[in-house]
Amino acid sequence: MEFSQHTGFQDRCRAIARQKGVRRGRGIVLSLDRTGLRIAHGARPEMGASLKGMFLVCAVMFLGKSLMLAELGEMAYAERVARLSGGSLPERLGGWLFEVDPLSRELAAILLPLVR
């Protein structure tokens, strides 16, 4: 067996071991089928919000808010946020979320030459 074939075989063995380890780490659930046989299968993964996903949502929100701030200008943006703050409960929540903050102001200053 050539060296390159041997390393490829070792890589495949490591990949299989990693997959099996992941399955064991999550746990195995036994269930009965219609005929009464026990069937082992992996436990369902837990559904939860990941930290990476929440960070991505916040980053996109700050970027969008900064783009609107750069496009409209600070006075027009503040006027629209004030209009939102005087509305119904969802509008007030939007007004609170879209208030100008230091990070959005700095990002808007960076994006201003790109927008205009």
**24, pLDDT greater than 90:** no
Instruction: List pLDDT tens digits, range 94-115.
Output: 999 999 999 999 999 999 998 8
Neighbours of 104 (CB within 10 A): 22
Instruction: List pLDDT tens digits, range 62-82.
Output: 999 999 999 999 999 999 999
Q: What is the pLDDT of residue 6?
A: 58
End-to-end CA distance of the chain: 64
pTM of the model: 0.57
- Which amino acid belongs to residue 99? E
Task: Kindly give the interhelix angle for 51-72 and 74-85, rounded to the nearest 10 degrees.
Answer: 120
- The pLDDT mean for the chain works out to 81
The distance of Cα 42 from the centroid of its chain, to the nearest Å, equals: 25
- Nearest one of 51, 54, 30 to 40, comparing CA atoms: 30
Residues in the chain: 116
